[in-house]
Amino acid sequence: MSALDFKEIPRANTGDGRQDTFELFARDFLLYLGYQIDVHPSRGADGGKDIIVIENRTGISGTTQIRWLVSCKHNAHSNSSVKPKDEENLNNRLHSNECNGFIGFYSSVPSSGLATILTNLKRQFEVQQFDHNLIEGHLLKSVEGLQLAKQYFPESLKKWTDENPSPALVFDSETTLNCEHCGKNLLTPEPTGIIVYWHSMTAERKQRHIKNIYWCCKGSCEQHLKAANYERGYIDAWEDIADLKIPVIFIKRVMMAINQLYAGEKFSEIAFEKLKDVLLNVFPYAARNQTSTESNRIDSLLGLPAYLGGLGK
């Protein structure tokens, strides 16, 4: 499913003053890719071109300049393909504008008939096509692309950002939680691994003593550290780091720590310092809106009777 709804860009056949928006978007998009704008969008007779851009290619023999004729077709509102009648006289248009390359910039896709015409056009000219999926792919892969998407697709990008969150810029440097066995950063590219809590109960079973807290990869790293940390009278509990970054679960964990301290539960010095490390390093990942997937996950987690192995309040 596409992330960007091209219907956010107004139709090109209206007279409300916004009919040039798709061409302006095409210009800004091509600038973002690195093209130089030679002829900007304009209203009125355009001689078969919407925009003309220049690409300078540097090779062993020097620099080659490609002059591209850009044709913009905004059919997203009708959901129709771009047909041969929409791109008539391509040879003449390229020759008359002294261009040696053609760029079809479309918010939908070319029809099979137009696709054949463009394939044949490659015998004489360079040809590129940008459909809605290719455009979206370019925009969502960089900070600059996301900024451009925000300008032309504000509603779509907000939804996409909510569902594809990145860490908040809270600290001067990127936060890390490195596996205590293999050293892997468990927060990037996506949070993974577990937080492990070793604790014991007093004889009256009224208070806990948290001896140690650490984080590691699941599997062999987890088993190695479990064997190294085992001590008679202590049991381990764990939670997924991916769960802890969910905003509601994160704040639940903070409140849990406050409740534990208020209840007089004991933390060893190392356990208390590591708890602070966990909360500080995971916080940038939780300081954001919640995704729909995470909302469903919350229902699952909060329904567990022994979430965090009984460490909860």
Tens of pLDDT along 258-304? 998 998 889 999 999 999 999 999 999 999 888 888 888 887 777 66
Q: Is residue 288 part of a domain?
A: yes
Please give the mean pLDDT across all residues of the chain: 90
Query: Do 40 and 27 meet the contact criterion of CB atoms below 8 Å apart?
Result: yes
Cα separation of 236 and 229, whole Å? 9
Give the DSSP H/E element, type plus range, for residue 68.
strand 62-73
My answer on whether 81 and 200 are in the same domain is no
- Written as six digits, the tokens of 84 are 């041969």
Instruction: Determine the structural domain holding residue 120 and report its residue range.
Output: 6-163
Cα separation of 139 and 239, whole Å? 35
Query: Do 247 and 290 meet the contact criterion of CB atoms below 8 Å apart?
Result: yes
CATH of the domain at 73: 3.40.1350.10
Residue that is last in its domain, among 114, 141, 163? 163
Residue type, 299: D
Cα separation of 69 and 25, whole Å? 16
Which pLDDT score, from 0 to 100, does residue 311 have?
A: 46
Q: What is the mean pLDDT of residues 157-166?
A: 89
My answer on whether 41 and 130 are in the same domain is yes
